[in-house]
Amino acid sequence: MAMEISERIAALPIWEGPIRVEPLTGGITNVNLLVSDARRRAVVRIGEDIPVHQVMRFNELAASRAAHAAGISPAVLYQAPGLLVVDYIEARTLAAEDLRQDAMLAKALDLVTRAHREIPRHLRGPVLSFWVFHVLRDYAATLREGGSRHFGALAALMAEAETLEAAVGPIDLVFGHNDLLPANFLDDGTRLWLIDWDYAGFNSPLFDLGGLAANAGLDPIQEAGLVERYFGRVDAGLWRSYLAMKAAAALREALWSMVSEIHSTLDVDFVRYTEETMGRYREAYAAFSAG
């Protein structure tokens, strides 16, 4: 399979001269490769549609192109079925501890805010929505059908999801990234970039805020600052909606991992990742219940 991928990449009509292909680490949805030719470097993302995760490549392509047009993400250089080539940015990927630094967190939030507001102006063609509670219900059905080892926990988890959905209440609608892992932020020394639009879609901004906070491990003071900077206020109702959506985002990540345990072919320890993400969900749900 590796030889087939290498041959397919080498046959693309965008290279100048011989190419060098190197693996990139960190992806848990796609195979990512760094390709160098005589003129430039590019990232090649290998991945088909993943219906069990509601990942559709037409949507990723539309979001990637719009994000570049909005100045948020690198340029799309080439696209073919199951393959996306984007410009390589000389930059370092952020870690959770980077985002816990106030200055960096402010830069990241400003970039996310720009994405929410500006990407819709550049979108073309059909794109998806991403309502986390629909995703959770679909994941639960997939887990039941697949005989997941987590079957016995699903009823209680979905009851909690219903409580969270009711608490979120009415929402604003933006075009969200919906996968704000620290490694999806790049720092080139001058500015930040946001990459990997597999799960992009119209959603509540609270999902990205909650996901960013959970994945970065922000403390409550930083979280309150995050919400206030985005909305210009923090009141009791907004804070409860935020805590509910943060817990839902954490539950989505945990169920994503559970589904990946039985459906993914990538060499990732999803059992351990499920344990980690369920721990984060329990903390988030406890904070919601206490708040």
- The Cα 120–Cα 127 span in angstroms is 10
Q: How many CB atoms lie within 10 A of CB 36?
A: 15
Give this prediction's pTM.
0.93
Run of H or E including 22: strand 20-24
The answer to whether 245 touches 135, Cβ cutoff 8 Å, is no
Mark residue 194 as left, alpha or beta (left: phi above 0; alpha: psi -120 to 50; beta: remaining).
Answer: beta
The answer to whether 150 touches 278, Cβ cutoff 8 Å, is no
- The Cα 196–Cα 201 span in angstroms is 12
Give residue 111's pLDDT: 98
Strands (E), 106-180: 174-176
Q: How many CB atoms lie within 10 A of CB 286?
A: 11
Give residue 1's pLDDT: 41
The one-character DSSP state at 110 is H
CATH of range 92-290; options 3.90.79.10, 3.90.1200.10, 2.30.40.10, 3.40.190.290: 3.90.1200.10
What are the structure tokens assigned to 174, written together? 């933006």
- The Cα 176–Cα 203 span in angstroms is 6
CATH of range 2-87; options 1.20.1250.20, 3.40.50.620, 3.40.50.1970, 3.30.200.20: 3.30.200.20
Strands (E), 147-207: 174-176, 185-187, 192-194, 201-203
Domain ranges of the chain: 2-87, 92-290
Please choose, from the candidates 211, 191, 189, the residue with its C-alpha nearest in 3D space to the C-alpha of residue 200. Answer: 211
Beta bridge partner(s), residue 79: 84
The answer to whether 251 touches 162, Cβ cutoff 8 Å, is no
- The Cα 95–Cα 240 span in angstroms is 27
- The Cα 32–Cα 24 span in angstroms is 5
Note down pLDDT in tens along the chain; length 291 residues. Answer: 465 888 889 999 999 999 999 988 766 667 899 999 999 999 999 999 999 999 999 999 999 999 999 999 999 999 999 999 999 999 999 999 999 999 999 999 999 999 999 999 999 999 999 999 999 999 999 999 999 999 999 999 999 999 999 999 999 999 999 999 999 999 999 999 999 999 999 999 999 999 999 889 999 999 999 999 999 999 999 999 999 999 999 999 999 999 999 998 878 899 999 999 999 999 999 999 997
Instruction: Pinpoint the alpha helices (H) of 169-235.
Output: 205-216, 220-231
